[in-house]
Amino acid sequence: MMASSYNAKEEDGHITVSGPGTLKSKKPDNTAFKQQRLPAWQPILTAGTVLPAFFVIGLLFIPIGIGLYVTSNNIKEFEIDYTGTEPSSPCYNCSVNFSWNSSRPCSCSLPFTLEQPFESNVFVYYGLSNFYQNHRRYVKSRDDSQLNGNVDSLKSPSKECEPYAHSDDKPIAPCGAIANSMFNDTLELFFMDPNGTRIQIPLTKRGIAWWTDKHVKFRNPGGDNPNLTSVFQGTSKPVNWHRPVSELDSDPENNGFVNEDFIVWMRTAALPTFRKLYRIVQKKSHLVPTLPSGNYTLEVVYNYPVRSFDGRKRMILSTISWMGGKNPFLGLAYITVGAVCFLLGVVLLVIHHKYGSRNNSADIPN
Amino acid sequence: MERLHWLGQRCQQMVDQGGARGWYSAPDGPLGAGGCPATCRLSGKRRTVIARRGPYQAEYRAISREYQGNAIRTTKYSLLTFIPINLFQQFRRVANLYFLFLVLLNWVPAVEAFQKEITMVPLLVVLIAIAFKDALEDYRRYLFDKTVNHSLVRVYCSKQKAYIDQHWQDVRVGDFIRLSCNEIIPADVLLLYSSDPRGICYIETANLDGETNLKQRRVVSDLPLQGSELTPESFYCRIECENPNNDLGRFRGYMEHSSKVRVGLHNDNLLLRSCTVRNTQTVVGLVVYAGHETKAMKNNSGPRYKQSRLEKRLNRDVLWCVILLFSMCLTAAIGHGLWLQRWTDPIYSIAEQVSPTLAGFYVFWTMIIVLQVLIPISLYVSIEIVKLGQIYFIQNDLALYSEQLDSGIQCRALNITEDLGQIQYLFSDKTGTLTENKMVFQCCTIHGVQYPHTQNARRLALYEEDVAGVPGRSLTLRSGCSVRSLSCRSMSCGHSSTSLHSLTREEEEEEEEPQGGAPCSRMAKEVIPDPELLKKMSCLQATSLCGAEACCLQATSLCGAEASCLQATSLCGAEASCVQATSLCGAEASCVQATSLCGAEASCLQATSLCGAEASLELNSIVDFFLALAVCNSVVVSSSGRACHTHADLPHNLTSRLLAQGEAGPRGVSGALGAAGVQGEVGSSTTATPSQAGASRESTQLGPGTDLVRSNVALENPRDPTAVVLTDMGNREEGVGAVGAPNVGTEPLRVSSLEDPAFCHSGPTAANEQLIYEAESPDELALVHAARAYNCTLRGRSGDELAVELPGAAGRLHVRLLHVLPFDCTRRRMSVVVRHPLTGRLVLYTKGADSVIMELSEHPDVPAGEGYVKIREQTQNHLDVYARDGLRTLCIAQRVLEEDDYRAWQKGQLLAETSIENREELLLESAQRLETNLTLLGATGIVDRLQEEVPETIEALQRAGIKVWVLTGDKQETAVNIACACKLLGPDDQILNANCGSKDACDALLQDLLSEVRGTGEGPGRPTLGEDKALPAAAVGGFVLVIDGRTLEWALQDELKGGFLELSRQCKAVLCCRSTPLQKSQVVQLVRSQLSVMTLAIGDGANDVSMIQVADVGIGISGQEGMQAVMSSDFAISRFKHLRKLLLVHGHWCYSRLANMILYFFYKNVMYVNLLFWYQFISGFSGSVMTNSWILILFNLLFTSVPPLVYGVLDRHTPADTLMERPELYSSRPSSKVK
């Protein structure tokens, strides 16, 4: 028994390195990976590569920038501030006398003129300035499950909504600071026909919210029950609201939590100056511009106070293009980068031409 | 009583030591109380071990309660404790604590930045991942422990009165265990019995320190039970030894026999756990330390942790990040306060009655949570991963793999890869690092006469050329049937084929082969003797032969009948034996002389005249010299197999002839001597005086004549057939002529019988038996081989005895080693005390560094007068010549001891050996007492070839802006020579020698040299090497400072080190010769701390360990001199040339990769945090985040972790071949700057 174990051990202990490959050796494998020979590309920057690169960038970027800039410039946009901070403003009275509790709505009308006709669909936005919708506490102050139609959350809103979760011992629906501070001005547009008639421009209130928001994130509690009043029975309206959530709109498809104005508002803006889509003026036909040039009147039901935080309120009319709304920045950026590259290319070319041949020998051969 | 006596002795000893550090602070336990050992057993510093199955059962139980069993548990956790302990371990890292703090912070409602749970995710992920890894590792350890604990070992069982198999874990202190060959030792075992008749056991410590050479362990000396296998029941001894410690090289204690006799225990007696028993059939031992108390387990420490400079820098950068974070948060807090003050009650604000100040305070903490990304928590983890990747690639590099040694690079420190890319100073050992450390004996000087060994030198030169000519090295791995000595003696005589460190062994194998036409392909162990010396040696043989002849003659004539006739016959007999020798040689030329010497009276006369008074002294010296070479070493001899193959037809060239002569010569002599001895014995009944007279008259060599001859016969192996024959002859008192005749007859018989395998066991008769020498230092190996070339063959070693063959003496002499004073770095010499086999006197042979020996041999014991002084001078001259040729020099000296002196010294030595505390100092002192008044015998020159590609590597490193210093213990001339050879010293370089004897002189010298350097240099700080890199290095001569150890000692002192540093900075290279290990580390320390540069130390031996440990990066060369350097190093390479790629390519890459990766990491974090921070300005400093909080939390962990990792592991800053071709790129890196 001993002898056999001997032999086994003997053979184990004796590692012969006689021939390569016959027995285990510590020699590392000769593979591209282990020997760090994997193909690699390493650009060596020389005049021969850098100069063309600059010129190519310049020649490529400047046309793109011009194209973008022109597109952006073709977009028509009109903006009117109706905050009413100046005494001369028609809305001055409304803004000064504002109080949340006033039962009588204050209205004001602002005339304005469109120099150019607006073709295609015209989007009506309201814009707020200095409104910190991105404030950390503000952003969090909502209950998504309540907005998604969860009955339990309806009855007992999440803590995030505090202090806008309960009023009079009743849960607030929709709870939270965002909902509570919902924009509630009513804007109406009238075209002042040269012949003196005032034509109200039809504003579509459907299709302004994201499809996913409308159909996925926001849902009324109680399923398809059309009687929202009963659904929201036992809840309280947000403090600043004039009407309960079940009376936001007459259309049952656009009422309650799925009211599109509400949904738009609930999607908080990232910057303190922002605009939100309010209505759409649908294009009527190819022949007539949607909004012909001329005089218009903006009728505002002034409900929303902004003076306390130096805010501004605006109404914006805009058309869009394939690249979205009006944004000259992108085009300008392209043009600037392209121009700088081109200029650098020229400068370097001159330098290279003048001084480049001085010590060719020291150049790294390329 | 005994105990008291012993204590008294101890006290005496303590007084001798000045009372310092006595082992016993006070007598432990009530001494008079019946001497119960149990009461004294735990004095805190020692342990008592008695046999578990032995007679003192009850006492054993009392004692062993505190001793650990042999079961080991290396796991850190158990199932229950895993979660708490692991969590505790993890939270000891500051990063994790910080993370935890953030998580908790997020639970404070006023501060809360995200949903509470989200912040926990990264922490949880990290914790769980690490916990999982730990658990897996621990489980693996558990499995390993289990297999180890359940290995079987035979333990003595008192019930069955036999050794039965038991698990390792059941072994207890005090158990007797029996181990067989190739078994692994389960615990620290005191060796009590070995099947080896000499009580020796060989172990291989590869598991412990990686050394594969065999180490001897011996049975506790004076063990009365030795000889028969001991019976544990009757083991009445009690062992006292020190408490478990981690010093592998030290074991002290004593064993007390039942007769109260104490025997000192040494490291030699201890078999360490996890070593392997080799070459010994059975050993029995007593377990003294078990389980975790064994030295192996105590030495089990994990990989080294060194903090790299980059990491230190990184810590500072992280601190900056923290400061940045705080300032950002403060800005936000203040901003929020101001912002809140501006408006009274905005519609979007949440109505809370919080003052702006308090709100700002809350925002501060919120921001800390929000901006947590800035503190790169995952950076440390990422760096670790990157370094692992880098090490993976370094270890897999083919260019760092040595085919010959089958070893690549070992990265022992895992976290300083990037330091390799910033080295500014390189400190290198010479021997074994720059050179091969394959020592080859080249020449020697004996008794003031130089023997240049020209043929030998030519052979070496040829060999070197061959190596240079064939870069691939034709002598790489041969299909390995090289003989390995690991094979057990009990095995059959077949060659066990193996080669671990194959080269050395192959040399030895080749050595036995006929030396064909190409000596260059021979590895260098074989020495061609110098003809001059050989002549003298053969003269010696002849002389002794003549002496013996004369003895024989005398004896025979005394015996009576037909005296004159007999005389003639006896002469014939002697002649015949010589003829026989000649016939065996198969050639004439070299033996003619011997033959003629042996042949007739005339030739005998000639020999006598040759060996006149003066010459005899010289011959004595020669014999002593070679005896010293053969004896004064720690070489382990193992004859491979039974040497079954002899060369039937011996080749007709010089070497084989010499070999044959070596074989035949002693044989013939022994025959004659044997006859003489026997007849002398017979004749002694009448009178011994004439024979003695004759001997002393004619044989100057043999000294006290017949006495000795008789002892020789007695010593001679009785199995030797020739001797037996001769004895028979002598007893029958037949004609002496007949003595010769059968002798002639036996020789061919013997040769033929050797070819018969059955005869193999008849004893080691063949001179060309394969001897395998294994030594700890290659110098010793070279010397033993050299001695062997002159027929002073070390045949075997068994404990206290050495078997040596000497020319001019009968066959195998057994030399009793009375004492060995082993080599150490302080003494720089080794000594043995032996009883001279020929003269029978006590002789101390010392071998050591020339400076030491020259000093000690200034006033020899023997008043040799002017002749000696002259010899010393000549030897010194020769030494200088050797050193100039770049040879390593060793001096051999002897001292003939008077019996009384020796006995006196022995007493002191014994005291020193048995002392447990202060033993080292006492031993040193004792050794120094003995090693005085030496008589110089001669010196040897050993050549040590440069490793391949060393000059290229050094040149490349210098071009890379690395200053190369060589620190060596060698002589100045040797060092300079080697420096020239490896291009450290160019032809145009100016050497600045710094040798001086005093501090003031040193100061002045340094100033002088400094001004000289400054004067000739083109300006201050000229040789910054980076500047003149465009020029070839040789075109500009630099300065090279050569400083010796003594001067270095002055220069390293506080007042002078400034000047020394200044000077050395101006120099291209610095050579420190004759430096001690301590000085080496001091130099490294000085340069490292004063110049605050990155240093690298490379070395291969134990003397480099301190230097390696001090340097920023320590590199060990796994070479010939054991593994100490490797064990203490950060990286271990096998050849010096590997340093080039390691530094220039891998160092460069690792550094740039890591530096860029860290920058990348900071960049991405700072970018992201800036985004978050600037957003606060438009969100009212409210701490809101414009991205989803998941993105923020997982930013580092998931979304951006892979690119830096890939970059850090794989990026190739510059192609490898470019870096190799242009070493200057190395220095172009900004020195240790990350940002």
CA pseudo-torsion sign B918, B919, B924, B925: positive
Give me the pLDDT at residue B574, please: 47
A211-236 residue pLDDT tens: 999 999 998 888 777 788 888 888 88
Residue of B154, B184, B350, B1211 to mutate when probing chain A, most A C-beta within 10 A? B350
The H-or-E segment that residue B657 falls in is helix B654-684
Burial class (CB in 10 A: 0-12, 13-18, 19+), B572: middle
Q: How many Å apart are CA A21 and CA B399, to the nearest integer?
A: 18
Residue among B397, B478, B500 minimizing CB distance to A28: B397
Q: Do B348 and A16 lie within an 8 Å CB cutoff?
A: no
Contacts of B497 in chain A (CB under 8 A): 14, 16, 18
- In angstroms, the separation between the Cα of residue B87 and the nearest Cα of chain A is 33
As a whole number, mean pLDDT of residues A136-150 equals: 89
The answer to whether the CB of B708 falls within 8 A of the CB of B838 is yes
Q: Do A135 and B348 lie within an 8 Å CB cutoff?
A: yes
Q: Do B406 and A135 lie within an 8 Å CB cutoff?
A: no
Q: Is B346 on the interface with A (CB under 8 A)?
A: yes
Q: How many Å apart are CA A348 and CA A51, to the nearest integer?
A: 7
Give me the pLDDT at residue B351, please: 63
Mean pLDDT of each 10-residue bin along chain B, 1235 residues long: 44 40 34 36 64 73 78 82 87 80 85 78 83 85 87 83 84 85 86 79 71 72 59 76 78 80 80 82 85 76 63 84 93 91 74 79 90 81 86 90 82 83 89 77 82 73 50 34 34 33 34 32 58 74 49 40 41 46 39 39 43 65 83 73 35 36 37 37 36 38 38 39 37 38 36 35 44 73 82 75 73 78 77 82 85 78 70 86 78 86 85 76 84 85 82 90 87 80 80 82 85 63 38 55 86 86 87 84 89 89 81 83 74 89 92 91 92 91 86 86 92 89 78 40
CA pseudo-torsion sign B331, B333, B334, B335: positive
The dihedrals phi and psi of A176, each to the nearest 5 degrees, come to 100, 165
What's the pLDDT band for A48 if we cut at 50, 70, 90? confident
Q: What is the mean pLDDT of chain A?
A: 84
The DSSP-derived string for B587-622 is -SHHHHHHHHHHH-HHHHHHHHHHT-HHHHHHHHHH
The H-or-E segment that residue B974 falls in is helix B972-981
ipTM of the complex in this document: 0.86
Neighbours of B575 (CB within 10 A): 18
Q: How many Å apart are CA B708 and CA B840, to the nearest integer?
A: 7
Give me the pLDDT at residue B192, please: 83
Residue B555 makes CB contacts below 8 A (sequence gap 6+) with: B676, B679, B680, B682, B683, B691
The answer to whether the CB of A43 falls within 8 A of the CB of A50 is no
The answer to whether the CB of A151 falls within 8 A of the CB of A230 is no
Residue of A132, A178, A274, A366 to mutate when probing chain B, most B C-beta within 10 A? A132
Residue among A14, A40, A137 minimizing CB distance to B484: A14
- In angstroms, the separation between the Cα of residue A284 and the nearest Cα of chain B is 38
H helices present in B120-220, as ranges: 120-149, 206-209
Place of tokens 């006369």: B605
Peptide bond into A163 cis (omega under 30): yes
The answer to whether the CB of B277 falls within 8 A of the CB of B203 is yes
- In angstroms, the separation between the Cα of residue B371 and the nearest Cα of chain A is 14
Alpha-carbon distances of B328 from B114, B331, B364, B1175, B1178, rounded to whole Å: 19, 5, 9, 12, 15
- In angstroms, the separation between the Cα of residue B1215 and the nearest Cα of chain A is 9
Contacts of B498 in chain A (CB under 8 A): 13-16
3-state secondary structure of B929: helix
Q: Is B353 on the interface with A (CB under 8 A)?
A: no
Give me the pLDDT at residue B497, please: 32
As a whole number, mean pLDDT of residues A10-18 equals: 35
Q: Do A14 and B408 lie within an 8 Å CB cutoff?
A: no
Buried residues in B31-61 as b, exposed as e (16+ CB within 10 A): eeeeeebeebbebeebbbbbbbbbebeebbe
Q: Which of B1118, B733, B1150, B348 is nearest to A131 (CA)?
A: B348
Contacts of A241 in chain B (CB under 8 A): none
Give me B1049's structure tokens.
């000692």
Q: Do A308 and B352 lie within an 8 Å CB cutoff?
A: no
- Which residues of B carry out catalysis? 429
Q: How many Å apart are CA A96 and CA B823, to the nearest integer?
A: 104
The answer to whether the CB of B939 falls within 8 A of the CB of B445 is yes
Residue among B345, B406, B1210 minimizing CB distance to A25: B406
Q: Do A132 and B486 lie within an 8 Å CB cutoff?
A: no
Q: How many Å apart are CA B262 and CA B256, to the nearest integer?
A: 5
Contacts of B398 in chain A (CB under 8 A): 27-28, 30, 35
Q: Which of B1099, B1120, B1117 is nearest to B1108 (CA)?
A: B1099
Residue in chain A closest to B336 (alpha carbons) equals A135
Residue in chain B closest to A2 (alpha carbons) equals B180
- In angstroms, the separation between the Cα of residue B479 and the nearest Cα of chain A is 4
